[in-house]
Chains A and B, each alone.
Chain A
Amino acid sequence: MEDTVMRATLVNAEKFVGVANGALKMAARDVRVFYGESEALHGVDLDIYENEVLAFIGPSGCGKSTFLRCLNRMNDTIDGCRVTGRIELDGEDIYDRSLDVVLLRARVGMVFQKPNPFPKSIYENIAYGPRLHGLASGRAELDDIVERSLQRAGLWEEVKDRLEQPGTGLSGGQQQRLCIARAIAVSPEVILMDEPCSALDPIATAKVEQLITELSETYTIVIVTHNMQQAARVSRRTAFFHLGNLVEVDDTTKIFTSPSDGRTEDYITGRFG
């Protein structure tokens, strides 16, 4: 039963297999993360290519979110968290002293598990990032960025008449798309998504998944998900994490049909996790 569902969703994933690997966008080498004394991530090596959708799957506490947060140094904000190893963005070490973390986060944007719009108007939510980075020289240009971002996030038609209303008044799914629009507004190169649909209902989830597929034409997307069907639907490649290790990473079709590691097979067939 489980298998037939899985195979049906894989038909969707088939179309990604033909996509040729783009240029190398980010590369992680021997990345370890420590919370105080305990090691949460035991040496991860992973390449991320331009314009691909890469999904991280694995049981709770396996380190997939921790690794995701290393990619734009969001772990810096957690007390007692230490990262070793090397992560490169376009060949530059992002943990290098000379690199400005503010600029890094403008290039590697993030969407969180729970929709977290600021308690400001819809317009101000989108305009927040462009204002910080001085992307618009005038009101007209800012208006333009806001409209384009909302259109790309598929939210424009729903909110164009109420841009001055608070973003917190939208539904959960709309809030999450608002957060995606907010991330797009600063024109990042990579977008990290940490379980972006786990707080959404199935219809809102479908919209966000469609959006992810559309966005992958322009951006490199890394998505953490608990939902294996979702990984199968949206991603070209999938990485499986287990107990702080990256077990394997391969084309999504291959991971879900003939994984090379026994642990991956156990997980996707529902034997644990």
Chain B
Amino acid sequence: MNNWVLICVLLMLMALAYQFGLARSRSVAGQGAARMHSRPGYYGLLVALWCGLPALAVFLLWTLFEPGIIRSVVLNQLPPDLAGLQGNELEVLLRRIEQIASGFGVSDQPAAFELAAAERMRSLQNTGRLAMIASMAVLCVAGLVWTLRRIDPQLRARNQVESVFQALLVISSTIAILTTIGIVLSMVGEALHFFRFVNPAEFFFGTVWNPRFSTTGAADQGQFGLLPLLWGTLMVSIIALLVAVPAGLMTAVYMAEYAPAWLRAVAKPVIEVLAGVPTIVYGFFALITVGPFFSVLGQTVGIDIRATSALTAGVVMGIMIIPFVSSLSDDIITQVPRAMRDGSLGLGATKSETVRKVVLPAALPGIVGAFLLAASRAIGETMIVVLAAGNSPILHANPFEAVSTVTVTIVNQLTGDTDFASPQSLVAFALGLTLFVITLSLNIVALYIVRKYREQYE
């Protein structure tokens, strides 16, 4: 029986159990001895949960541990001359046995001991499967009967059901947190590994980025200076913010203060569509249209502008984060109480004076928060820079030249042939961790500012 079929059967049983619980609680209520503690639906749910959850737990644990147990049993019974196998050879052998057992087969003629082991594995798997289904069935029925018998006016079914759902909510919210922690831990681990090859001081303060290739030998492992990359990231992000902040802020002011309702209803979603364009599309827009345009523009005014440069990447990235800035600022500007505007208008201020002198200052902390969030978005952006920044990790201050950023370098170090024991690949984790720390601190500062602002009016 397929696992999915098993789950479906379990769900159907739970639905059945719900009906049983419902019927039982109604009949108990019908005897009229006392008022039931909960409404019938809660008794039904309680029966369904007791019927389904223990069986489900057995199913999960079984599928988690069964393969390991079967493998060790099979391994123990292999011929003694194979007992010394280690590492890859053992893996290959086990893989072969598993494939013979599943009926998929292997390309060459299997050895006799392999066939025997596969036979043993198959029988173990069959037995295990039957045992699992049997124990699930027993738990299902036991849970059903036991809970049905417990139904009486004193049983606090509602409280029990609700605590189960609460646990479900807690588990869901923990998943995101645990994932974040897991990501950080794995990056820290690999980054530490990297720092065994390269001195942290050389990494954080080095001005030359020249990692070589891992295949050229361990004698010369290259130079891993972070500064050229960090500078590239900074330059592109600053250009992006120089584009996005004025445009986004003015959009927000227009939308929140001046635009008539119908225009706002149309234009706001359209602007937000910009945020939904995949970054790779922005990337080739930069590469094919914006870059050559800047190059030609540079020629006409006599400046040497490369088609792929910090300028190209920054400007396009700026366009990408305009909706981000405008939408956040718009929300914050509309949150400024009407009383503030009335107060200013009532003193004879014009609309634009009111916006400049009262609304924007009142919204300023929130707007700064929005900028910082946009900045951390710009720093972490990858696709546009991969395509349009030119990938040249050299420390220079000319925005018309090609640069490389932290994110681009991570992509470069992790694509193609990689050997995860060499500093050339491991450096990606150190870079990733650096980036993570930067964006995390920007986000924390931004959220702190936004929250502080919120307290002012609520």
Contact = CB atoms under 8 A, between A and B. Distances in A.
Given A79-B261, A118-B358, A128-B357, A183 B337 contact: no
Nearest to A105: B348
A72 interface: yes
B40 to A, nearest CB: 46
Interface string B333-353: 000010111111111111001
Nearest to B336: A119
B456 interface: yes
Contact of A183 (B261, B346, B361, B362): B346
Interface of A: 72, 74, 77, 79, 102-106, 109-110, 112, 114, 116-120, 128-129, 132-133, 168, 179, 182-183, 186
B300 to A, nearest CB: 45
B340 A116 contact: yes
| Interface size bracket, B side | 20 to 34
A183 B361 CA distance: 20
A114 B342 CA distance: 11
A118 B344 contact: yes
A116 B456 contact: no
A31 B343 CA distance: 24
B358 A129 contact: no
Given A118-B358, A119-B361, A119-B362, A77 B344 contact: no
A128 B353 CA distance: 10
A106 B348 contact: yes
Interface in B367-424: none
22 contacts: A74-B342, A74-B345, A77-B342, A77-B345, A105-B347, A106-B347, A106-B348, A109-B346, A112-B343, A116-B340, A119-B361, A119-B362, A120-B361, A128-B344, A128-B347, A128-B349, A129-B348, A132-B347, A132-B353, A168-B456, A179-B343, A186-B348
- The 6 A-B pairs at the shortest CB distance, nearest first, are namely A106-B348, A110-B346, A116-B339, A105-B348, A129-B347, A116-B343
Classify the secondary structure of A's interface with B. Answer: helix
Contacts, number: 65
A102 B347 CA distance: 8
Nearest to A133: B348
Nearest to A104: B348
A119 B456 contact: yes
Nearest to A102: B348
Contacts of B261: 79
A110 B261 CA distance: 27
Given A110-B346, A129-B348, A132-B353, 8 more contacts: A74-B342, A74-B346, A102-B349, A105-B348, A112-B346, A116-B339, A118-B344, A118-B362
Contacts of B349: 102, 128-129, 132
A157 B180 CA distance: 56
Contact of A118 (B343, B350, B353): B343
A104 B358 CA distance: 20
A150 B349 CA distance: 21
Given A118-B358, A132-B353, A186 B347 contact: yes
Interface string B240-272: 000000000000000000000100000000000
A174 to B, nearest CB: 16
A117 B340 CA distance: 7
Nearest to A119: B362
A118 B340 contact: yes
A112 B347 CA distance: 11
Contacts of B339: 112, 114, 116
A96 to B, nearest CB: 17
Contacts of B343: 112, 116-118, 179, 182
Contact of B347 (A79, A120, A168, A183): A183
A102 B337 CA distance: 21
A25 B252 CA distance: 42
In this complex, the member of B341, B348, B349, B456 whose beta carbon has the largest number of chain A beta carbons within 10 angstroms is: B348
B348 A77 contact: no
A183 B270 CA distance: 42
A186 B347 CA distance: 8
